[in-house]
């Protein structure tokens, strides 16, 4: 995944790795300036820091605005959940929808009807029971979106069929900036939790050591929850058998032990940010990917779930990626052309904690 592209979202939020790149030798230009000019540049930098502080306040207010409008969206999302789970049957008026594909769908329906009549003549048709709500709504979304399907394992699918809703909750005024993803499940045979949670902690202030890198609120940590698995149903671990031979007697015994297992539900037991900020490359990548997924749930999946279910949002995402790729190709070609023109020129710029408890029913 490209951390730089994923770093800054629709509301300006960034994740580690999404900060703008600056030439390593930017200090060379400053050192070449006359002393009196350099002095004035320092004054401009002080002004820039003040601008960054004002920008941080702007994003804090944006967060409050998001929280305010989240309350207005919620009744609509609740109605979506009720339709998906079959708790509510929408009225004919609520189901009215016209799309460009209507005519094609009508023709397809006519063909289906004719085929059904023919089948009925051949054998007595048995009435099929109407499905409840929209079966496997969220599971279908998980399987359709690459970012989520990469985490999904076959043994996760029966569990995710019980997923009723995903909600985003914003931190209250006066609290540290954060948002929480809530995964609501119907009673099932896998765990006792009614809700699984994932909290993403954020900050919206320039780094004192590098204030010019500030580009908006930044996810700095995340915290999952403890899943209360039923006995033998924990899909995040697997049991393996291992033979051990006694060195002295030569006897062999078989021991069993549990080892980690790939599963979407590892999402609720994330890598923790090291207090000293020192992490190995694999952990940093895993954490950055986790932040990106959390941001994607918040900004795309939850607000536009039905469009990911139908695939329309996927088409939009693919079109956007294709446009980016085309632009990138053009830039690369331009750069190659420039290299040919400038061959032989020297360019100095080219130097080189424990999880929290989940909610119970």
What is the average per-residue pLDDT within 156-166?
Answer: 97
* Vertex 42 angle, CA 36 and 48, to 5°: 145
Q: Residues 46, 48, 49, 52: what is their CA dihedral angle, to the nearest 10 degrees?
A: 170
Report the alpha-carbon distance of residue 184 to residue 225 in Å, rounded.
13
Least confident stretch, 14-28, 248-262, 334-348:
334-348
Least confident stretch, 4-8, 180-184, 234-238, 284-288:
4-8
Tell me what pLDDT residue 85 has. Answer: 96
> Does the pTM of the predicted model rise above 0.75?
no
Residue 246's contacts (CB-CB under 8 Å, 6 or more residues apart) are 252, 253
pLDDT tens column, 236-258: 999 888 877 777 777 888 888 88
Least confident stretch, 255-259, 268-272, 304-308, 340-344:
340-344
Question: On the CB side of 68, how many CA atoms lie within 13 Å of its CA?
Answer: 6
CA 218 remoteness from chain centre: 14
- The residue written with tokens 């594909």 in the block is 101
Tell me what pLDDT residue 324 has. Answer: 54
The fraction of the chain above a pLDDT of 70, given in percent, is 71
Higher pLDDT among residues 357 and 268, named by residue:
268
Tell me what pLDDT residue 358 has. Answer: 60
Q: Mapping DSSP to helix (H, G, I), strand (E, B) and coil, where does residue 76 land? A: helix
| Closest residue by Cα to residue 138 from 92, 84, 190, 96 | 84
Pairing of strands 359-360, 237-245: unpaired
Tokens for 293, please give them: 């997924």
Residue 123's contacts (CB-CB under 8 Å, 6 or more residues apart) are none
Higher pLDDT among residues 85 and 319, named by residue:
85
In sequence order, what E strands does 96-177 have?
A: 163-170
pLDDT tens column, 278-311: 778 888 888 889 999 999 999 999 999 999 999 9
Least confident stretch, 126-130, 132-136, 237-241, 335-339:
335-339
Query: pLDDT band at 219, cuts 50/70/90?
Result: confident
Mean pLDDT of the chain: 80
Pairing of strands 237-245, 193-203: unpaired
Tell me what pLDDT residue 132 has. Answer: 92
Least confident stretch, 28-37, 122-131, 155-164:
122-131
Tell me what pLDDT residue 183 has. Answer: 98
């Amino acid at each position: 995944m490209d951390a730089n592209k994923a770093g800054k979202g629709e509301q300006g939020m960034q994740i580690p790795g999404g900060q703008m790149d600056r030439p390593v030798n930017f200090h060379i230009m400053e050192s070449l300036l006359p002393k009196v000019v350099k002095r004035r540049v320092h004054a401009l930098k002080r002004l820039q820091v003040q601008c960054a502080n004002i920008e941080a306040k702007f994003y804090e207010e944006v967060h409050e605005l998001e929280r305010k409008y989240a309350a207005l969206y919620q009744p609509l999302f609740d109605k979506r959940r009720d339709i998906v789970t079959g708790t509510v049957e929408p009225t004919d008026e609520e189901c009215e929808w016209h799309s460009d594909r209507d005519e094609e769908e009508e023709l397809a329906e006519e063909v289906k009807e004719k085929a059904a009549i023919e089948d009925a003549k051949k054998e007595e048709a048995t009435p099929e029971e109407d499905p409840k709500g929209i079966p496997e709504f969220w599971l279908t979304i998980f399987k359709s979106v690459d970012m989520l399907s990469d985490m999904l394992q076959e043994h996760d699918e029966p569990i995710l069929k019980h997923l009723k809703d995903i909600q985003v909750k914003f931190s209250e005024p006066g609290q540290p900036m954060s948002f929480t993803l809530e995964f609501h499940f119907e009673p099932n045979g896998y765990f006792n939790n009614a809700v699984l949670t994932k909290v993403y902690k954020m900050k919206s202030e320039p780094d004192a050591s590098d204030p010019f890198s500030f580009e908006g609120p930044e996810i700095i940590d995340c915290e999952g929850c403890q899943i209360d698995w039923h006995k033998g149903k924990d899909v995040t671990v697997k049991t393996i058998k291992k033979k051990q031979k006694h060195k002295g007697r030569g006897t062999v015994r078989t021991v069993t032990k549990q080892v980690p297992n790939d599963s979407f539900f590892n999402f609720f037991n994330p890598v923790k940010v090291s207090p000293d900020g020192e992490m190995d490359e694999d952990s940093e990548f895993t954490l950055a990917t986790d932040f990106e997924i959390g941001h994607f749930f918040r900004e795309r999946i939850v607000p536009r779930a039905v469009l990911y279910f139908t695939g329309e949002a996927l088409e939009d995402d693919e079109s956007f990626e294709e446009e980016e790729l085309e632009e990138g190709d053009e830039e690369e070609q331009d750069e190659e052309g420039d290299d040919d023109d400038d061959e032989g020129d020297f360019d100095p710029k080219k130097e080189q904690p424990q999880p929290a408890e989940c909610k119970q029913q």
